[in-house]
Amino acid sequence: MKIRIPATSANLGPGFDSIGLALSRYLTIEVLKPADEWYIEHNLPYVPDDKYNLLIKTALKIKPDLQPHHLKMESDIPLARGLGSSSSVIVAGIELANQLGNLQLSQAEKLQLATEIEGHPDNVAPAIYGNLVVASYVNKRVSAIVSDFPECAFLAFIPKYELRTSDSRGVLPNQLSHKKAVAASAVSNVLVAALLKGDLTTAGQAMESDIFHEPFRQRLVKEFYAIKKIGHEYGAYATYLSGAGPTIMVLAPQDKIDSLQEAISQLGFDGELAPLTVDTVGIYVE
């Protein structure tokens, strides 16, 4: 059995902790055989290969009496880069428990469990459902709406350095004034409405008008302003920080991606430029 979970890009600017999108990089878990103890084959640095791995810890949280297995883990989702690497493991752990324990969990039940474990729905929801997901987590209850994303292309600049979510959250203010909070909420509302209508020009303007987090986090990602400038020059819809960063996502018409990629590569930044597409499947088991 194989379990495949997509990478995710959260926030999309003003959709802070509530909007996420599934993208075409993947974590794959292969269940090889029953064993006396849990063991995971992988080549990820500093990641445990036993029951202390987040995958197994999550699965055992859902069903503590699971039969241990020998597993294989492969991932092209970089760690601590704002592409949902830990969320993909949490979702995979829930699905592992669901399959091995024959729990028959619904997608909504998986989302509730994943949000309780991760703390926010913005990364785990699209990893489960695929596509674009707008979600909230209030009074321990998750609500989520899944929608197709308008036709476009994504270009991710993934820096070589990591940026821990805890560090990225550390630069955020403890509170916003009522006036700023209303303005920030209005921008987020326009983003959602524009995406559901398929108006990427208006959506892009909203993505670049965030008040909740990007003004505070952008200074942690030294490449951001130069890449955003290139985006404006080459007709991108928007440039935003993916999740907590440091990955920078450029959203553009398909026919602009090659020229954008060439222009950004000329900046000489140390990192990977990766064209991506929307994953429409979410959790996939074979």
Known binding-site positions: 78-88
* Number of other CB atoms surrounding residue 47 within 10 Å: 16
Burial (CB < 10 A; 0-12, 13-18, 19+), residue 43, is exposed
Q: Are 148 and 132 spatial neighbours (Cβ–Cβ below 8 Å)?
A: yes
Which alpha helices (H) appear in 78-156, and where do they start and end? 85-100, 107-118, 121-129
Binding site for ATP, residues?
78-88
Q: Please confirm whether the linkage preceding 246 is cis (ω < 30° from 0).
A: yes
Q: Rounded to the nearest 5 degrees, what angle is found at the Cα of 151, between the Cα atoms of 265 and 281? A: 95
Residue 24 is classified by DSSP as: E
